[in-house]
Amino acid sequence: MSLQSMAAELRGALPKLPIAYAPTLINRAWREIRESGLWSFNLYEQSWITPPIVTAGTVTVTQGLNTITFDANAIAALLASQVANPYSPITTRQFRIAVGGIYNLVTMDFGTGDATLDRIWGDPSGTGTAYTVYQVYYVPQYKDHLRWMSVRNPIMFLDLNLNTTRQDLDSLDPQRLWYAWPTDVVPWGRDQRPGSATADFPLYELWGQPVNPFTYQCYGLRKGADLVNPTDTLPYSIGEEFVLARARWYAYEWAEANKDMSPRSAGPDFRFLMEKADKDYIRLRTMYRREDRELVDNWFSVRGLNYPIFSLGHYNTIGGVAGPA
């Protein structure tokens, strides 16, 4: 059933409810349901791919300006990297010189070599200076991402640590000089890069510095999205009567607060209808949670997140990593 159909049914349960207000109550109920526990439709997986580091050529930087200029060799190397690794546009990568700060590349002109940083260059000026362009920060697939449950480097047989904070990292490696392979996924904040296609998405830092190409398996949990268009529908495992039961509770609450209290206009006591709607909601929640639990258990079983990564015998010649037989 679509959002438009659910709004019409809710209006039928309370004829005086403004039709424009009905979708608001439905989404309020839908948000309460999807954030009330672990549902299969909020589980998702994606991949992060770390592009190879780019260091060819040189760059000119000026303290106090947010523009930098790459030389011809650097332009050719950056363009080649962009073509070879289209999953990581240059404007999603980071730029630094030696042990200086890490800056976001916002724009890049492959014709002139001019690039714009997300803030003014605060380190010393330099001409013909060696540099590093690589990708340190990564976004989840969804803006409503809630948290990671697992980020895994299958080549290295390594589950990355998800509990490190920026305070921990700043104490351990304030200059970000650990160049081995990433072992931690650290919350960075929201994506505030000017013109970013993922503006306001959660942003995560990979530490140590991700200078080697790896593909990471990421398993995440999202909050879920509201129904926006009239034709939007609920996930397969959620019935419309479940959402409407909670939406009716909100509608009857609105009616009780706005009913005419004059004796001649005394209407129904909506508190009784609220109680009935609440009982329907609890009954349906129990039923749908039980049914969806099987899908959740299957999701985790298929991906093996319940088992330690080193529980089975293995040997990896690339990583030089061995586990018990």
Per-residue pLDDT 10s for the chain (325 aa) are 899 999 999 999 998 899 999 999 999 999 999 988 899 999 999 999 999 999 999 999 999 999 999 999 999 999 999 999 999 999 999 999 988 899 999 999 999 999 999 999 999 999 999 999 999 999 999 999 999 999 999 988 889 999 999 999 999 899 998 887 899 999 999 999 888 889 999 999 999 899 889 999 999 999 999 999 999 999 988 999 999 999 999 999 999 888 776 555 556 788 999 999 999 999 999 999 999 988 888 888 877 664 444 433 444 455 455 544 3
CA–CA gap between residue 104 and residue 118 (Å, rounded): 5
Bridge partners of residue 116, in order along the sequence: 67, 107
Query: Which SS3 state, helix, strand or coil, does residue 204 take?
Result: strand
Name the helix (H) or strand (E) containing 297.
helix 270-303
End-to-end CA distance of the chain: 52
Are 187 and 125 in contact by the 8 Å Cβ rule? The answer is: no
Instruction: Tell me the two tokens of residue 112.
Output: 């002139």
CA–CA gap between residue 57 and residue 104 (Å, rounded): 19
CA–CA gap between residue 82 and residue 66 (Å, rounded): 22
CA–CA gap between residue 194 and residue 91 (Å, rounded): 10
Q: Which alpha helices (DSSP H) does 140-189 contain, by range?
A: 166-172
Output DSSP code: residue 101.
-
CA–CA gap between residue 190 and residue 182 (Å, rounded): 21
